[in-house]
Amino acid sequence: MKCIQASYIKNFQCNGKICGARCCRDWRIIVDEETYDKISELDTAAREEIFQHTEWVEDEVEGVDIMVLKLREDGVCSLLDEKDCLCSLQKNHGEDYLTAICQSFPRVTYKLDEDFFEQSMTLTCPLAANLILLPTEPITFTETENVTARAIIGFKKRISRPAEDFFNIQMQAVKLLQDKNISINQRLKNLCEMFYKQTLPDAKFNFQVHAEILTEIFLKTYGANISRAQKKSLRQNYFSYRERILAQVYENFNNVLENYLVNEFFMRCYPCAYSGGEFHNVKIFITAYRILEFSLVLSAIAKKTLNVEEIIKVIYSVNDMLDHSQGGMEEIVNFAKGCNAADFVIKMLG
């Protein structure tokens, strides 16, 4: 068995006291079959104590009943001991009794073939985000024979080539994204050209159209309903300040943005994260990144500051909203679907 891991994983250690056990809030935590069986084998008192914190709900996708952990009124998992920010299930019975998702998070593990896995971490966890984004050295990848997670995403049917070839294509993309001899914008153009498989059309970038598209996607991502005048003001602010603010961001925090791009590409299993061809996926990847740039500019205007803490907050917010706001991600996917190569150059590759 082969598991390709992002090298930062070996340095991760969960500490709920630092982040306030953020991963134990506002999630639907499924009690998987393995965890259910282990709990069922405990003595009656221990078993009943745990199961009183569970409930059966209907899975909207599968249409079957599943057991989940109850959340308190404030959205906190009912098994969290807030005094020390530790799970009472783990404290009383050991890590083996954690649900698969709790044991695995923030690791994201894909099964590309029977004996080929990829593992990284999501930026949803603040401790993981710091490990991923802050280093000045490039993210590297190592091979191990161990898969240190029980929650595994089957991805064999999604990739368009054998697992080894898919991984090699990902590493070629990572190499482009880590090319410090050129700007990140040029790296994205090179990435686009790599999956377009020919020279991109010689079309002129239209910044006005670019700003209009990002404004619409941003508003749908955050579910904002504003007037036409407010929308125009938002677009104009981005139009006026983008060049100066992004120049400062890239001058001072280039490593953060590079690490973000590399981790997103690997962690989400691009170029096959979404149905459609590989070039289509890269258009989605770049457009989602432009939404991050848009958000960084607006944040800098509003807060009049550009520091690494604020940048990481914006990254966390944008990722969280795109993961949980169907409108924003759906808009990005539809935009990418409706763009041929020339359109994409005009609208996104400035």
Distance, CA of 93 to CA of 84 (rounded, Å)? 16
86-87/80-81 β-pairing: antiparallel
CA distances from 325 to 220, 224, 334 (A): 8, 12, 15
CA proximity to 93, closest of 162, 42, 150: 42
- Please name the residues in contact with 4: beta carbons below 8 A apart, sequence gap of 6 or more: 117, 118, 119, 141, 142, 143, 167
Average pLDDT over residues 173-180: 98
Average pLDDT over residues 37-58: 90
**pLDDT at 343 > cutoff 90:** yes
**CA triplet 196, 199, 204: central angle to 5 degrees?**
100
Distance, CA of 350 to CA of 348 (rounded, Å)? 6
The pLDDT of residue 167 is 97
Residue 190 CB: number of other CB atoms within 10 A? 16
Average pLDDT over residues 307-325: 88
Distance, CA of 30 to CA of 102 (rounded, Å)? 9
CB 315 within 8 Å of CB 260: yes
Pick 181 or 93 by higher pLDDT. Answer: 181
The pLDDT of residue 269 is 96
For the whole model, what pTM was predicted?
A: 0.91
- The model's confidence at residue 61, banded by pLDDT at 50, 70 and 90, is low
Task: Rank 72-86, 102-116, 215-229, 258-272 by mean pLDDT and report only the highest.
Answer: 258-272
- The model's confidence at residue 59, banded by pLDDT at 50, 70 and 90, is confident
The pLDDT of residue 194 is 97
Question: Three-state DSSP class for 14?
Answer: coil
The pLDDT of residue 270 is 97
**pLDDT at 317 > cutoff 80:** yes
CB 38 within 8 Å of CB 50: no
54-58/2-6 β-pairing: unpaired
Which helix (H) or strand (E) covers residue 206, if one does?
Answer: none
CB 86 within 8 Å of CB 72: no
Least confident of 137-151, 153-167, 312-326: 312-326
Average pLDDT over residues 128-149: 93
Residue 328 CB: number of other CB atoms within 10 A? 23
**pLDDT at 204 > cutoff 70:** yes
CA pseudo-torsion sign 176, 181, 184, 185:
negative
The pLDDT of residue 260 is 98
Alpha helices, DSSP H, located in the chain: 16-19, 33-40, 44-51, 88-93, 100-104, 126-133, 163-177, 184-196, 207-221, 228-267, 278-303, 308-324, 326-337, 341-348
Average pLDDT, the chain: 91
The pLDDT of residue 75 is 86
Average pLDDT over residues 198-226: 91
Both tokens of 228, joined, read: 């036409």
Q: Convert the pLDDT of each residue in 25-34 to its tens digit.
A: 777 888 999 9
Distance, CA of 285 to CA of 279 (rounded, Å)? 10
CA proximity to 22, closest of 129, 126, 128: 126
- Report the DSSP beta bridge partners of residue 115: none
Pick 92 or 21 by higher pLDDT. Answer: 92
